[in-house]
Amino acid sequence: MSDLKRNLIGGEWVAGTRVSENRNPSTPDDLIGLYARGGAAEAEAAVAAAGAAAPGWAAVSPQVRADVLRRAGDMILTQNEALGRLLAREEGKTLAEARGEALRAAQLFHFYAGEALRHPGEKLNSIRDGVEVDVMREPLGVVGLITPWNFPIAIPAWKTAPALAAGNAVILKPADLTPGCAHALAEILAAAGCPAGVFNLVMGRGSEIGAALVDHPDVAAISFTGSERVGRGIAAGCAATMKKVQLEMGGKNPMVVLADADLDLAVNVCLNGAFFSTGQRCTASSRLIVEAGIHDAFVEKLAAAAAALRVGDPLEPDTQMGPVVSEGQLSGNLEYVRLAAEEGCEVLGGQRLNRSGSFQTPALFLGATNAMRVSREEIFGPCASVIRVADFDEALAVANDTAFGLSSGICTGSLKHATAFRRRSKAGMVMVNLPTAGVDYHVPFGGRGASSLGGREQGRMAMDFYTSVKTAYTFAG
């Protein structure tokens, strides 16, 4: 199987014992490639390789680390079109969204190339005469990165780049559904001069490889993005082995629309937040909380805009919403559509398309309450509850009434209400007149409650997670 895409372990491209087919959810006949499936043995080998490479990588000049990261960013930019097409084929984002995600990965590598040189520290006077204090940051050693399918190149990039910049060796375990982008990233890092063992890729099942990394005593930290259910298990596993852990998980993100909002702006913000990227964003707006005075006009316009979205093959230039990532995910979404009707909502859209591939139309659940399961559980598809409220106070209370706390938003023309919402929203990210999804890469990303645990990702704060603080006292005599 010469065209088998292999794992990267200790600088060698290694076949696993099994092989996975990577198929296009738009066109199931389109076989993107055959990918090696590793297991516990490959995870063990990757930990050993990373452990051997980590001290050397920690000791090199930060210029060497910066150069590798910058070259990787340059190569992602050069390959943007090919990476975008691969991403659209394996995950289903539209080509424009996929190109944008690949661009984001390049921007992240370039940003952390700079951070490798800005490795922070502090020098302070001691409270004792003649003593100096240095607060230093050191790499952790071997770090395991476990990533989901919905941003198959950006999330591996936003974990790998700061981890390498800080001087750690890395093992990336990408989602089973989307190994292609992670494999392409591994090829790029190898070509960019990342030394053998510093970046390792092990593809395959989370229950085998992910669990092996979580349980391994030589892995110092795990950074995970994925579902709350898996995240809880990883947190428990990391507690058992006393590992540093960072979890980014699900959301049930509220978007409040007040009666004084610009109606067209609010409709565009909600259309984007709920349905772009097929709603498969942890920051997607899945609860649209609408003040009574604008409710009917807003619903009429949003329903028309949602029904007009062109759903189809992401490689077609006029497609606005691609497929659901897999048949399994689609049947889960359709089950929630059925549940919404059972719970008493008027359901608009949410039908499977009568063609091959995992396609559905966007779904709105009108007349929803915040107590319904469709308003409390993460669906992770193009489905949004519309919840009518009397005023701002009720809107804020409903927005905050969730176990999650990733992103929240408000559409309003009122400075008073925008300011009050920014202050009182219980979410890690708050948007005013902007969709709940769509963030910058140079500022912190993360949430509260069941959405996040551990330090923030992205921006300079990401370096906190990937380093350990050492406080050194020196008496010079």
Catalytic site positions = 248, 282
Q: Which stretch binds ligand NAD (CB under 6 A): 58-66, 149-157, 160-168, 265-273?
A: 149-157
Which residue's CB is nearer to ligand NAD, number 182 or number 256? Answer: 182
Answer for which of 75, 164, 169, 175 binds ligand NAD (CB under 6 A) is 175
Answer for which of 37, 173, 216, 295 binds ligand NAD (CB under 6 A) is 173
Q: 199 with 173: CB under 8 angstroms?
A: no
Interaction of residue 225 with ligand NAD, rule CB under 6 A: yes
Element (H, E) at 65: helix 62-78
Interaction of residue 97 with ligand NAD, rule CB under 6 A: no
DSSP string, 281-341: -TT-EEEEEEEHHHHHHHHHHHHHHHHHS-BS-TTSTT-SB---S-HHHHHHHHHHHHHHH
Which residue's CB is nearer to ligand NAD, number 171 or number 406? Answer: 406
Side chain identity at residue 379, one-letter code? I
Task: Work out whether strand 253-257 and strand 285-291 pair parallel, antiparallel, or are unpaired.
Answer: parallel
Minimum Å gap between C-beta 84 and ligand NAD is 19
Nearest position to ligand NAD, beta carbon: 206
Interaction of residue 474 with ligand NAD, rule CB under 6 A: no
Question: x-or-dash pattern for ligand NAD, window 105-144, by CB under 6 A?
Answer: ----------------------------------------
Element (H, E) at 243: none
* End-to-end C-alpha distance for the chain, whole angstroms: 67
Answer for which of 27, 79, 227, 268 binds ligand NAD (CB under 6 A) is 227
Element (H, E) at 246: strand 244-248
Minimum Å gap between C-beta 60 and ligand NAD is 29
Answer for which of 42, 91, 97, 176 binds ligand NAD (CB under 6 A) is 176
Interaction of residue 380 with ligand NAD, rule CB under 6 A: yes
Minimum Å gap between C-beta 237 and ligand NAD is 7
Which residue's CB is nearer to ligand NAD, number 39 or number 233? Answer: 233
- The count of residues interacting with ligand NAD (CB under 6 A) is 29
Which residue's CB is nearer to ligand NAD, number 153 or number 234? Answer: 234
Side chain identity at residue 248, one-letter code? E
Minimum Å gap between C-beta 395 and ligand NAD is 23
Q: Which stretch binds ligand NAD (CB under 6 A): 11-19, 95-103, 186-194, 209-217?
A: 209-217
Choose among 275, 268, 277, 276: nearest CA to 298.
268
Question: Whole-angstrom Cα distance, residue 161 to residue 9?
Answer: 18
DSSP string, 189-236: HHHTTPPTTTEEE--S-IIIIIHHHHH-TT--EEEEES-HHHHHHHHH
Interaction of residue 149 with ligand NAD, rule CB under 6 A: yes
Question: Whole-angstrom Cα distance, residue 323 to residue 305?
Answer: 18
**469 - beta bridge partners?**
137
CA dihedral 368, 370, 372, 378 (to 10 degrees): 100
Longest dimension (CA), the chain: 82
Q: Which stretch binds ligand NAD (CB under 6 A): 100-108, 117-125, 205-213, 385-393?
A: 205-213
Question: Whole-angstrom Cα distance, residue 467 to residue 112?
Answer: 14
Which residue's CB is nearer to ligand NAD, number 78 or number 207? Answer: 207
Give me 341's structure tokens. Answer: 């009707």
Residue list 262-301, contact with ligand NAD (CB under 6 A): 282
Residue 382 contacts by C-beta under 8 Å, 6 or more apart in sequence? 274, 275, 278, 279, 280, 321, 324, 333, 360, 361, 362, 363
Answer for which of 211, 259, 269, 453 binds ligand NAD (CB under 6 A) is 211
Q: Which position has the token pair 């619903």?
A: 299
Which residue's CB is nearer to ligand NAD, number 227 or number 414? Answer: 227
Which residue's CB is nearer to ligand NAD, number 57 or number 466? Answer: 466
Question: x-or-dash pattern for ligand NAD, window 230-269, by CB under 6 A?
Answer: x--xx-------------xxxx------------------
Which residue's CB is nearer to ligand NAD, number 272 or number 414? Answer: 272
Q: 179 with 35: CB under 8 angstroms?
A: yes
Minimum Å gap between C-beta 406 and ligand NAD is 6
Phi, psi dihedrals of residue 201, rounded to the nearest 5°: -120, 125
Minimum Å gap between C-beta 185 and ligand NAD is 14
Catalog residues that contact ligand NAD under the rule CB under 6 A.
146-151, 173, 175-176, 206-207, 210-211, 214, 225-227, 230, 233-234, 248-251, 282, 378, 380, 406, 451
